[in-house]
Chains A and B, each alone.
Chain A
């Protein structure tokens, strides 16, 4: 089972559609060994304190905290990233994770440059991988991406629009 490290942004995205059947969080936990640094759990707790869609999404992820493999991770002062991203990138590098899930579209260049062998994956791409592996239907992936886009205000994002076009 491939090892995956997730950043706060990706877990919040998936959490926004946690109520959907099938739930993308279920798929993630079932298909991969998911690791998160303690700093990401702290960030999720901060986000969950807000009463908006993203707060509810973070809450949905934290409701299943027992299923998360939470690891302590040192921060690498060389990375110009915030604490959660920094800890997650460090954890991915230290554990030689296969994938790093991150939806911080405005910082992906820096995140990508900080990863050693781990492949950077956004949640729209993760949905495409689930479709490719028969874990989700294209219809499910389209519904999930639409839900995530609404909650994340991605409607005008050119990348997300093109990713959406790949699901019929």
Chain B
């Protein structure tokens, strides 16, 4: 994983930012740390949330995300399963199997 940091901008409600800042004060850290910790935790949990994992797989089957993006989101083993299932959706495989 690259340690390069990228600056990003996003909008959030006033209340959400205030709560993040309050927690940063309590923890003796800053807003960026609170937000990146929260995001990291959310993405980690997403990989174990079956409903979300199926959404991710669906996006991969529909070519909305690449295999590399899939692997980054769900891990290499699960990604390998979804790659096999994507191949199962291929019409050319049906043709090939039908001729056996």
Partner-B contacts on A (CB < 8 A): 2, 98-99, 105-113, 119-122, 124-125, 128-129, 132-133, 156-159, 161-163, 166
Number of A-B contacts (CB under 8 A): 71
Q: In the assembled complex, which residues on chain A have CB atoms less than 8 Å from the CB atom of B61?
A: 158-159, 162
Q: Is B95 an interface position by the 8 A CB rule?
A: yes
Minimal beta-carbon separation of A138 from chain B (angstroms)? 13
Q: In the assembled complex, which residues on chain B have CB atoms less than 8 Å from the CB atom of A110?
A: 77, 80
Minimum CB distance partner of A122 in chain B: B88
B84 close to A108 (CB less than 8 A): yes
Q: Is B50 an interface position by the 8 A CB rule?
A: yes
Task: Report which of A99, A108, A122, A128 forms a contact with B100, defined as CB distance below 8 A.
Answer: A99
Q: Mark B78-93, 1 if CB is under 8 A from A, else 0.
A: 1111111110110001
A109 close to B83 (CB less than 8 A): yes
User: Interface residue tally of chain B, by bracket?
Assistant: 20 to 34
Minimal beta-carbon separation of A5 from chain B (angstroms)? 13
B84 close to A121 (CB less than 8 A): no
Return the 6 tightest CB-CB contacts between A and B, nearest first: A109-B80, A158-B58, A108-B84, A159-B85, A132-B98, A2-B100
A108 close to B85 (CB less than 8 A): yes
Provide the bound-state CA to CA distance between A67 and B58, in Å. Answer: 38
Residues of B36-59 whose CB lies within 8 A of A: 50-51, 54-55, 57-58
Q: Do A105 and B81 form a contact, CB below 8 Å, given A159-B57, A162-B61?
A: yes
Q: Is B2 an interface position by the 8 A CB rule?
A: no
Minimum CB distance partner of B95 in chain A: A132
Provide the bound-state CA to CA distance between A124 and B85, in Å. Answer: 11
Minimal beta-carbon separation of B57 from chain A (angstroms)? 5
Q: In the assembled complex, which residues on chain A have CB atoms less than 8 Å from the CB atom of B81?
A: 105-109
Q: Is B3 an interface position by the 8 A CB rule?
A: no
Q: Mark B57-87, 1 if CB is under 8 A from A, else 0.
A: 1100100000000000000011111111110
Q: In the assembled complex, which residues on chain A have CB atoms less than 8 Å from the CB atom of B96?
A: 119
Minimum CB distance partner of B83 in chain A: A109
